[in-house]
Homo-oligomer: A and B are copies of this chain.
Amino acid sequence: MSAAQRVEQALGYLEGRWKLVILFQLFGGKVLRFSELERAIPAISQKMLTQQLRQMEQDGMVRRIVYPEVPPRVEYCLTDWGQALCPTLDSLLTWAEGRDLAAKPSE
């Protein structure tokens, strides 16, 4: 597998309109319920929130904890691997800032 393909796969984990937003909500070890995430990200639809969370769970970035109660309670938090993404995203931010500095002021 080429480096390009491997990076492509890595990026795949981050693709999806809302994954980064969710990620940032959960960074720092925060634990949030489904409805709390909905409130924290007003623009997202239930369908999208569920879908993205499911994918992130499958990918191993997010842990889903279901409490067998009525009414149902489900909590989400990052796995260690999910948390580990933080410095990499920082690196990405720093790189992106370099663009502006290099004389391409946002067009």
Contact = CB atoms under 8 A, between A and B. Distances in A.
Interface of A: 2-4, 6-11, 13-15, 20-21, 23-24, 58-60, 79-81, 84-85, 87-89, 91-96, 98-99, 102, 104, 107
A69 to B, nearest CB: 29
Contacts of A99: 13, 59-60, 81
A23 B11 contact: no
Give the number of times this chain occurs in the complex, counting copies. Answer: 2
Contacts of A15: 11, 15
14 contacts: A3-B93, A4-B23, A7-B24, A7-B93, A7-B96, A10-B93, A10-B95, A13-B99, A15-B15, A60-B99, A80-B102, A84-B95, A88-B91, A88-B95
A10 B21 CA distance: 14
A7 B81 contact: no
Contacts of A85: 95
Contact of A92 (B10, B20, B21): B10
